[in-house]
Amino acid sequence: MKKTTLIFLTFLIFYSCQKEESKSDFIGNWSATSDTNFDINITFSNDSILIENPVVYYDRNYSTRWKVIGKKIELEEAIWDYKLNLEKDSLLIKHQTDSVYDLSLKRIKNNYGFLENKLGFELRLPKTNEEIIKVENKELFYNIYIGKENKSIIIRTDNNLKSINQIINKRSFLKISKTESNNKKLEKGFKIDTLTIALLSDKSINNNELDSIKSILKDYQIKRFFRIYNNEEYTKKDWKAEINWLGKYEN
């Protein structure tokens, strides 16, 4: 009888450890990848899961208990099927009643990784030996991120535009450029002379390619460009920490 009880207890301990190990694979911060249609951040902790989804939850976050059973993540109000890759840094999720894994998440380790995940490409900023300064008056800066994939140039902005044509057609930069000190007016009373385009260009982008992008923007009365360069102070463990860019003005 004692031997049977010991075997049973050993099995329970082993099974509990298996569940805990499986749950520990998820602990941390995750964010939806750029190729998904969802803007979701998920933080797994031992006691709860925190879901940030501005579309569903508006101005609040949703927190609930969770557990892992087999290939399912069970919440208090839902059950998800999941697929976790071997490196444990990529997670696919779907509701158990759905047929397609429509949510792709990337494990986020720091704020710079969070940005790259949103952009959908690795942003390797160039280095410079010249003096670089902090971005001041951020409300008058419009960030354009430039990368390259399979020899094709990729464009991104903070408001999810994906080409220079989209930026121009939506005139999205006009929403940033507001000042009472300039007489040059554009539609809806916006001013643009003091607007600066911050160029965050991957080091694979050559000068001719960058000049071509600048030339297009100059046709729309953009006159000020600020090139962002690499700095070791950008990366913070706080994955939501703001990045204070450094660079210099260029023609």
Residue with the larger pLDDT of the pair 16 and 158 = 158
- Phi-psi category of residue 155: left, alpha or beta, with phi > 0 → left and psi -120 to 50 → alpha: beta
CB 108 within 8 A of CB 26: no
pLDDT over 70 at 72, yes or no: yes
For 151-203, the pLDDT digits (tens) are: 999 999 998 899 988 888 876 665 555 544 444 444 444 455 568 999 999 99
CB 62 within 8 A of CB 53: yes
pLDDT over 90 at 17, yes or no: no
CB 19 within 8 A of CB 74: no
CA 205 to chain centre: 21
Name the burial class of residue 196, with classes exposed (0-12), middle (13-18) and buried (19+) by CB atoms within 10 angstroms of its CB: buried
Please, what's the b/e burial string for 111-130 (b: 16 or more CB within 10 A of its CB; e: otherwise)? Answer: bbbbbbbbbebebebeeeee
Token couple for 67: 């557990």
Residue with the larger pLDDT of the pair 205 and 139 = 205
Domains and CATH numbers, the chain: 2-108 (2.40.128.50), 113-250 (no CATH)
- pLDDT-based confidence at 13, cuts 50/70/90? low
Cα angle value 154/156/162 (rounded, 5°): 75
Closest CA to 83 of 52, 104, 107, 113: 104
